[in-house]
Amino acid sequence: MSTLTPTRPPRTGTPAAAPAGTGRVGGGLFAPRQLLASLPDALRKLDPRVMVTSPVMFVVLVGSVVTTVLAVKNPGDWFGWAITAWLWLTVVFANLAEAVAEGRGKAQADTLRKAKTDTVARRLTKDGKGEEEVPGTGLRVGDLVVCEAGDVIPGDGDVVEGVASVDESAITGESAPVIRESGGDRCAVTGGTKVLSDRIVVRITMKPGETFIDRMIDLVEGAARQKTPNEIALDILLASLTLVFLLAVVTLKPFAIYAGADEQTSLIVLAALLVCLIPTTIGALLSAIGIAGMDRLVQRNVLAMSGRAVEAAGDVSTLLLDKTGTITLGNRQAAAFVPVRGTTEAELADAAQLSSLADETPEGRSIVVLAEEKYGLRERHRGELAHAAWIEFTAQTRMSGVDVDGRKIRKGATASVVAWVKERGGAVAEDAQALTDRISGAGGTPLLVAVEDGRGARVLGVVHLKDVVKEGMRERFDELRRMGIKTIMITGDNPLTAKAIAEEAGVDDFLAEATPEDKMALIKREQAGGKLVAMTGDGTNDAPALAQADVGVAMNTGTSAAKEAGNMVDLDSDPTKLIEIVEIGKQLLITRGALTTFSLANDVAKYFAIIPAMFTVAYPSLDKLDIMGLASPESAILSAVIFNALIIVALVPLALKGVRYRPSSADSMLRRNLGLYGLGGLVAPFIGIKLIDLLLSLIPGIG
């Protein structure tokens, strides 16, 4: 069968031309240019009003200030200056991690700003008969503006009249133009995009400064990013641990005085101990992890309206997926002609082809092609039958066809065609219903074909339309099942067809003949059971369900109502991307959990480095705790502080790139994280601190 020409070139897995600045996280993560560009932002973040938002790093900042004052009072104390320098570097490295993450978003925002132009809009007058030119910034919600070929659309809105080809590459990075038309689910247009052909009238739906591009800029820059519930909870935990360690360190001073180890517990040493014991690693990287999660979505042309949505995607336990275009290819194609008894396949194929010559749908074109290729019928054209009367398909009749050469041919829904035959006193073959039921049960869509000629009205047979399941979908659903996620297919098909497709694709459940109310009820039912639900949609009728879902992904090609209701927008309008979004959300949560585990395990090793160094003089038996055999008390404390700063830098690529996600159960992931990051976090400091101690011992006066 020849390939039918799609209305739009298919997308590849990676956007053809992502907006400039949308770079993949990879080898160039710490390019000198990027570090230099981010360094001023990192230094600006030393402002206490900014630092106080991270309790852990605020304590490190206070400790840095205290040690600086003490070092200034005793300028000859090299140890004090060394500790002070590395404490300040710890704060700067933490800020640099966040600044690098934000820097990539700012590069994307700069590209988006270029799409914002001060346009002059052609606004229709109130009587609708004339036009007036006004600045784009002067438009208000409800205004009607005219856009023709070559015009830049001045604001966000919906097409209320006409159809046009629109270049949206400034927003999506996709060079192929898209069709925007009044009515239906492809009426939304975005300010800053360009009309390539024809004329449309747009009703403005957003105020200047609140347009989609403005929101995109705020989101990718991080200006609109707020801490998520999980981040807030982790912040509270880290603040609590910091307070506990602060109290513990404060009590060490009187204890040291009593034990005669006052000299070993100076304020500089206590500050170093506090910084090493509190979870500085995760405190430094927490914000960068969240920003990087949203950035990974932007790289895939998905805009998350909040960090909460990204986190919710990671906790999703139920996925609602449309059948057409998501699970299946979407364009049903003719697979076979099945005649009733007494009719030949050639006779059925000839009638089906004739009735489809005026049918410009993919299904209609596929019938013409199948009749030509499989049955050797010459491809006829509508122009050859100038005397024919073409019957267009309508939602009321649910049939189409042609009256030609004394024959009336109809094809369409089984019930409609059967009723048409009976109205003309014709007979319906006994096996017609059985054939349609068999095709429906196999997941296909039956189209009944009938004819009225000199022999009367009768059914000829059935055209089997098949909706092809996308390759690899069963494997992806198996992965989701291993992740503990339930998949539900939503379709308007009848239950028999829906069941067959669901079994072939491997989804867990399906909802047939779904209405907007059915979708909403299903989401509420799942949420009542304590589950988080994700779904995609593009139409106004999807808006209530998108708003109700915990993760609502609206298609950029959809209506303004759908985009306003969802908490994510897919600029590529690819429904299958919902599965990737869930994986990115889980990767974010796993990364945060893994680095938290690593950070807390780190503190154990640093405890074994510093505590023996502080109290060995007063309590020689504590020397047994110095299992690393460090060169001297000063070297032990300084090595721990240096390692504490450098480990932040070492983990920044992991925080930005994310821990690799592999579909598995929660128990399996927990064991893996504890084994890799728990044990790794315990062992790495022992090795790192010892290596730094060996290097410091080579410096005269330290070893």
Q: How far apart are CA 275 and CA 644, in angstroms?
A: 8
Binding annotation for Mg(2+): 538, 542
Q: Coil, strand or helix: which one is 699?
A: coil
Distance of CA 535 to the CA centre of its chain: 12
Q: Are 171 and 190 in contact (CB under 8 A)?
A: yes
Torsions phi, psi of 316, nearest 5? -60, 135
Binding annotation for ATP: 359, 363, 393-400, 411
Amino acid in the structure at residue 76: G
Q: Coil, strand or helix: which one is 700?
A: coil
Written as six digits, the tokens of 687 are 């090795």
Estimate the share of the chain in helix, then strand, then coil, as percent rounded to the nearest 5.
50, 15, 30
Picking from 85, 240, 93, the residue whose alpha carbon sits closest to that of residue 641 is 85
Q: How far apart are CA 78 and CA 98, in angstroms?
A: 31
Q: How far apart are CA 578 and CA 304, in angstroms?
A: 12
- Of the residues 143, 158, 214, 322, only one is catalytic, namely 322
Instruction: Tell me the residue ranges of DSSP E strands in 306-373.
Output: 318-322, 333-339
Binding annotation: 359, 363, 393-400, 411, 538, 542
Written as six digits, the tokens of 598 are 């690593």
Q: Are 643 and 599 in contact (CB under 8 A)?
A: no
- HSE of 228 in the Cβ direction (CA atoms, 13 Å)? 24
Q: How far apart are CA 657 and CA 677, in angstroms?
A: 16
Q: Are 143 and 125 in contact (CB under 8 A)?
A: no
DSSP state letters, 180-209? EESSTT--EE-TT-EEEESEEEEEE-S-TT
Q: How far apart are CA 605 and CA 277, in angstroms?
A: 9
Is residue 322 flagged as an active site residue?
A: yes
Distance of CA 479 to the CA centre of its chain: 18
Q: How far apart are CA 688 and CA 620, in angstroms?
A: 25
Residues annotated catalytic, as ranges: 322
